Amino acid sequence: MAKKIAEPTLPPKERAFLVGVELRNEPSLLSLDDSLTELALLAKTAGLEVVGMTSQKLDAPNPNTFIGPGKVEEIKALVEETLAQVVIFDNELSPRHLRELEERFGENVRILDRTALILDIFAQHASTREGILQVELAQYEYRLPRLTRAWTHLARQTGGGGGRTGAMGGVGLRGPGETQLEVDRREIRKRIASLKSELEKVRAHRSRYRSQRQRSQIPTVALVGYTNAGKSTLLNRLARADVLVADQLFATLDPTTRRVELPGGNWALFTDTVGFIQKLPTQLVAAFRATLEEIAEADLLLHVVDITHPNALQQAQAVHQTLMEIDAGHIPTITVLNKVDQFPDPQAATQTLTGFPGPIVAISALTGQGIPELLSTVSRELFEVYVPVRVKLPYQQGNLISIFHDQGKVTRVEHVRGGVWIEGNLPVRLLARFQPFIKNDSSDTSEEVGETIET
């Protein structure tokens, strides 16, 4: 009789206790309870088991432990009761807060904040070389000012006056009594510089690739939205792509671009990008600059909103704030209300986000409902809608001057020292390329003027 092979058992998940703090002088888009619920989803995505949570409202953070000393003792008791191994704060902790809390809770309990948790999720999901480099840079920049007992060898003293072999294998002299902590900081700074250099090469490569796309005159459409809003499902629907779709936060990190045919025979490149979230760590925004430029350089944005989410409006506002932070707030946008197949009244869904820029289209990326209308709206925005502009283009921007004449409708040209003023109408899809040169007043027309051409 054949023996049944036992299935491998999975290691138990780490048990996490969550702490939310509402600071009255720092308004948040989400309520305290909703923000903690989101933190629980982040913890689940990171592979943790949430065993409890608590919250506190404060006028300002405690200078030592962020939360009040009484709350610290209360959480310590709850951690012991629930056998939690990790305590996660929904706010970003300063190096001092982290150090003090680690001392209070002892070496058997790890202390994390929201930023560290998101960085851990990104590290798990990064798959391409670019994504791995970006996450590693963000982690090092986060850790540098927070080197504490998480680095177990830091208490050792090195040096003492004699020559020692340096951490990188070379021979050198350290100052008397230099700590391993100082050595680690120096090595981390070297690694950060190396990662930034590598990512600049990635950025340059992406820039060359975008220039090639622009020369091909195929417009680009970036899918943006709160994490888990359904962007990857939408790209799969539009382009019959195979982008990973998962019911978890930050399932997609690396941008994926696919060509999509629009009504009328035109084509556009659609790019799926990393999802946004409230309190997005600044380290991630900086580290993912090369990727986020795919958004900032797009001709049109599709802002995908999960209309079934109870905080859909707040999530949309968080996305809008992030777009402003990465200098993409000026790009024409279509608001896409996704998952209307789960909404009792799809027509009423469009009233939820009134006030946001651009047209609003209700769709279901899962069933295909509303996709023809969405593609028609994209085609109209890219190829039929013109906007009046007035730009001053340096003569070095000969490519943009040619594009304005070839694809725009020029009404006036005025040559001045160092460049040319052009007035007319441009297709919406070209607006982002000309944005740095757009002028809204006539204050600069006092320059030395040459030939003026009226058309």
Which residue numbers belong to the known binding site?
225-232, 250-254, 272-275, 338-341, 364-366
Q: What is the DSSP letter of 231?
A: H
C-alpha to C-alpha distance for 414 and 454, rounded to whole angstroms:
9
Query: Of the candidates 147, 116, 2, which has an alpha carbon nearest to the alpha carbon of residue 48?
Result: 116
Helix axes 129-143, 289-296, angle to 10 degrees: 120
Residue numbers belonging to the annotated binding site for GTP: 225-232, 250-254, 272-275, 338-341, 364-366
Let me know if 4 is exposed, middle or buried by CB neighbors in 10 A (0-12, 13-18, 19+): exposed
Annotated binding site for Mg(2+): 232, 252
Nearest to 115 by CA among 97, 90, 141, 150: 90
| Alpha carbons 426 and 407: distance in angstroms, whole number | 7
Q: What is the largest CA-CA distance in the chain?
A: 97
Where are the alpha helices (H) located in 106-227, listed in sequence order?
Answer: 114-125, 129-143, 180-215
* Local structure of residue 91 (DSSP, 8 states): S
* Residues 13, 47: Cα–Cα separation, whole Å: 7
In 104-120, which positions are buried (b, 16+ CB within 10 angstroms) versus exposed (e)?
A: bbeeebbbbbbbbbbbb
